[in-house]
Amino acid sequence: MKLTILGGGGFRVPLVYGALLTDHAEGRVTEVVLHDLDDSRLYAVARVLAEQASTVAGAPTVTATTDLDEALRGADFVFSAIRVGGLEGRANDERVALAEGVLGQETVGAGGIAYGLRTVPVAVDIARRVARLAPDAWVINFTNPAGLVTEAMSRHLGDRVIGICDSPVGLGRRIARVLGANPREAFIDYVGLNHLGWVRGLRVAGRDELPRLLADSDLLGSFEEGKLFGVDWLRSLGAIPNEYLHYYYFNRETVRAYQQAEKTRGAFLRDQQARFYEEMRRPDAAALTAWDRTRAEREATYMSENRETAGAGERDADDLSGGYEKVALALMRAIARDERTTLILNVRNQGALSVLDTDAVIEVPCLVDANGAHPVAVAPLPDHATGLVCAVKGVEREVLAATESGSRASAVKAFALHPLVDSVNVARRLVEGYTAVHPGLAYLG
């Protein structure tokens, strides 16, 4: 089984490779091909992988290339984990938005739109090449904004592209843990768009345990989302939102905190990772140790401004292990070996959430087997959540229209219609600001 990783020089590739090393079963991945535009990043990551593999018998072979078509040919699975414009681009997404007084997060609000506008054309090119060169491959999209990018690719790959994110899984795991339930036995009733979803129930043997959590202040305030949103607000909602909804429900505070931060998240990661890749140039560097130290710092500081505004304190030790590589591996196993399982994934709606059309990519529990991921029909969302989901899907569709037509007016419309952008004039200035800093937006005439 051949797995191609696009963005193969990316910092989180060793997480994926580490997950592959735990898989010894028949039908596992035996060959990993890393693709990246940047040779030195490939070299750095390959060094980490080599150290990871050194103690494991039968570790998947690793090769690296900067030739995209060569990387794709013959692939059974393609992981797409690219970052168009790099972390410098992410820092610019944040800076331009914050200067206008609106959020610049990489997936939420103006920043997510800017990132989407320059990523979609590249993702679509990849999708077209996969369709031509590896028509039977399954594409697992990690690239943010994951829902939007998956929808763009699905227009060329249909249901053979599946988007993943670890935040719903982490949320489900935390809720199960505080309720004393086994996450493997619990069905998480979660739905929405990527980074815009809500847990409305957690069923164990058919019984919904969420009301028990909502009724118990101590339990409710004891985990990440309880600390972030506050017990009272969760109870008012009657649901547990994805952590990214903190940017919506506490928008004013998060924007201010990001404006006042010494460095935005993108700038912090840009500098932190630059140090890591620089260190990897030294022939005597201890690659895996340096990588792990950098990773731990990244995990510990994740959403730190949000947690600070909420007075949430440090992250729980259990939440520091990420988990997106586990979702990816579980998904790959389910498809490659028909190991049936239920995972929360980004797939075309197909009627699961009836308020959106069938081709809209949503984030929803799916039954996964050798035939792919099949969304489970879910109960409708309450009106306010439906409103947000529809508004943001409308924005995503404007982004897709802008990338297809090159229309600047569509780009302005995408920003202006976003619930976290409060004026059409702001939207116009955002388009000016972003096209001035991002070469990848030159197509917007």
Rule CB under 6 A: say whether 298 interacts with ligand G6P: yes
The span of 36-44, 83-91, 160-168, 234-242 binding Mn ion (CB under 5 A) equals 160-168
How many CB atoms are closer than 10 A to CB 123? 26
Pick the closer one to Mn ion by CB: 134 or 303: 303
Q: Which residues pair with 369 in a beta bridge?
A: 372
- In whole angstroms, how close is the CB of 371 to ligand G6P at the nearest point? 26
Would you give the binding string for ligand G6P spanning residues 317-356, x where CB under 6 A is met?
A: -------x--------------------------------
Q: What are phi and psi of 180, to 5 degrees?
A: 70, 20
Answer with the entry of ligand G6P, Mn ion, none that 298 interacts with (C-beta below 5 to 8 A by kind): ligand G6P
Q: Which is nearer to ligand G6P, 199 or 269 (CB)?
A: 269
Packed helices 424-437 and 408-417: angle between N→C axes, nearest 10 degrees? 130
Q: By CB under 6 A, tell whether 144 contacts ligand G6P.
A: yes
Q: How far apart are CA 310 and CA 267, in angstroms?
A: 22
Token code pair at residue 81: 């984990």
- How far is C-alpha 124 from the geometric centre of its chain's CA atoms? 17
Among the listed residues 1, 71, 9, the one whose alpha carbon sits nearest the alpha carbon of residue 280: 9
CB of 148 to Mn ion, least distance (A): 12
- Cβ proximity to ligand G6P, 265 vs 393, nearer residue: 265
**Least separation, in Å, of the C-beta of 146 and Mn ion?**
6
Q: How far apart are CA 69 and CA 288, in angstroms?
A: 29
Any contact of residue 165 with Mn ion (CB under 5 A)? yes
**Contact range with ligand G6P by CB under 6 A, out of 133-141, 160-168, 406-414, 421-429:** 160-168
Look at residues 394, 397, 393, 399 and name the one whose alpha carbon lies nearest to residue 434. Answer: 399
Assess 441 for contact with Mn ion (CB under 5 A).
no
- Separation CA 345–CA 324 (nearest Å): 11
**Considering only residues 91, 165, 176, 412, which one is a binding residue for ligand G6P as defined by CB under 6 A?**
165
* Window of 45-53, 132-140, 162-170, 208-216 that interacts with Mn ion by CB under 5 A: 162-170
Contact between residue 362 and residue 147 where contact means Cβ atoms under 8 Å apart: yes
Closest CA to 369 of 174, 162, 198: 162
Site residues (CB under 6 A) for ligand G6P?
Answer: 144, 165-167, 265, 269, 298, 302, 324
